[in-house]
Amino acid sequence: MKKTLSILALSLMLVISACSSSQPSAGGSATGAAEPKDLIVAFGSEPVTLDPQDTSDGISNNANELIFDKLVTLDKDNKIVPQLAKEWEISPDGKKITFKLREGVKFTDGTPVNAEAVKYTFDRVINKDNKLNRYSLYAEFIDKVNADSEYQVSFDLKFPFGPALISFAHTNGGIHSMKNLKEKGKDVGKSPVGSGPYKMKEWVPGNKLVFEANNDYWGDKPKSKTITFKPVPENSARSIMLETGEADIIVPVVTTDVDRLKSNDKVKVLVEPSSRNLYMSINTTRAPFDNPKARQALNYAVDKETIVKKIMSGQAKVAEAAVGELVWGFSSVGAYPYDPEKAKQLLAEAGVQPGTTIKLWTPDGRYLMDRQIAEFIQGNLQAVGLKVEFRKWEFGAFQEATRDPKAEFNLALNSWGASTNDADWGLRPILMTKGASNYSKLANPEIDALIDKGMKSANADERKKVYVDALKLIKDQAPWIFLLDYKQTTGYRSNLENVYSWNNERLILRDVVKK
């Protein structure tokens, strides 16, 4: 076992260690030798793309975890363990990470997993011209990728970056077949080739996405013959599918069904901690919410406690900051209290006339109780004198529409899982001026400077202080209606073993065994 400690460890939310090549490939131990069966999983929506570096939604990431291996991954306890890399070393100055790869591993198209494939994958994502969604996750800290030899790849970093290893363990770090990338180009998200235990068999948009076992997989053999993702936006329909056995796993479980499902001996429900929060993006580029006072008013207008108690049945908590309490760097800056009169006062001070029409958009079925929460917020805002035009969307179309610089919404219901479990990735993509998922379109130089400082500092204590200041300023600027921190709920049939999620809400299906 090789361990290298460096100043990168100082950030820490995860122990940085290099483990032996005998570790399980997907972060879980082998479970028996049961005959592989077909597994059906019902989600609230379907994946957007099967290109890891262009993926920004959780369901696509769940799919990509089946197809792609990464240099390192997480185990069941959210600790970093080897995957394609059997060991690694961090230079004393923290500005170089070297990975030694497993030998003889192949992609499902038969081409070798080697340093050139790793380099090609990361060179592609850090090339700004490719305009991939996860450009900023890697380009901000990777300076250069080097194929040192056939099975050794190294990364020169722009600065010592605390969350570097966990960023490589992120699903967005999945390694592509270089041959397939060159052949498919921009269409690779519909025709992916990785080195994981499953490969895509069939994708019928709006109906199903089917993965079949990669029987030549280098690690533990696939536990399922096929895994099928089915998009089922209607919450109650997913629960019924679980009860009847039409689905083996459902995500999420609607809060109103949890107690009933728990009483069914053929079904189990997991309620686990999550790093995901839910918020209402406020379009800061459109009047009247280009004024921070008007944005603060919306926060006072919304009854978050009732959302948590009544709509979420207690399976969430009122958000106390722009990142959840499981995220490294979190500090409570306090929730806006429910105060409709204060909301009316601030709206008047901001010059917002009673009866002003605003547009509220929401996905339907992507996040637990998303539409119901949006409808409740519509009522709250109407109660303080605003006229609210409500529109629900299919998730893929919703993402595309809200990213449009000319988008005409005033409010859009969004959620973010800080999937590196670090405040850097909890804030940078969604609140920096050029963040890829900055749906509020906030442009605040002071917030930008704090997030940048937090990213580039190698001192853990300094980083924590920076994030305290950042979270306070974000609350004051109110680019969102701060709503809640989710718990993650998963329902599954009792004949399944080893069902679990990481706390960044990746549902890990590689190790599930169906009896």
* CATH code where residue 381 lies: 3.10.105.10
362 and 480 in a single domain? The answer is yes
In a domain, 498, yes or no: no
In a domain, 170, yes or no: yes
Give me the DSSP letters along 400-423.
HHHH-TT---SEEEEEEE-TTSBH
Which pLDDT score is estimated for 34? 64
449 and 349 in a single domain? The answer is yes
Which pLDDT score is estimated for 317? 95
In a domain, 501, yes or no: no
pLDDT one-digit tens code per residue, 122-140: 999 999 999 999 999 999 9
Which pLDDT score is estimated for 505? 80
Low-confidence ranges of the chain (pLDDT < 70): 1-34
Domain boundary among 151, 175, 198: 198
Contact 496, 514 (CB under 8 A): yes
In a domain, 221, yes or no: no
For residue 167, CA distances in Å to 21, 78, 513 come to: 20, 13, 28
In a domain, 257, yes or no: no
Domain boundary among 158, 180, 198: 198
173 and 309 in a single domain? The answer is no
In a domain, 191, yes or no: yes
Which pLDDT score is estimated for 272? 84
In a domain, 351, yes or no: yes
Q: How many domains does the chain have?
A: 2
160 and 14 in a single domain? The answer is yes
Domain boundary among 168, 198, 228: 198
277 and 194 in a single domain? The answer is no
Say which residue the tokens 């930008």 belong to: 448
CATH code, 25? 3.90.76.10
188 and 320 in a single domain? The answer is no
Identify the domain containing residue 345 by its residue range. Answer: 273-487
pLDDT one-digit tens code per residue, 8-47: 433 333 333 333 333 444 444 444 456 899 999 999 999 9
154 and 285 in a single domain? The answer is no
Structure letter (DSSP) for residue 206: T
252 preceded by a cis bond (ω within 30 of 0): yes
Instruction: Name the token pair of 105.
Output: 């591993």
In a domain, 318, yes or no: yes
Neighbours of 454 (CB within 10 A): 24
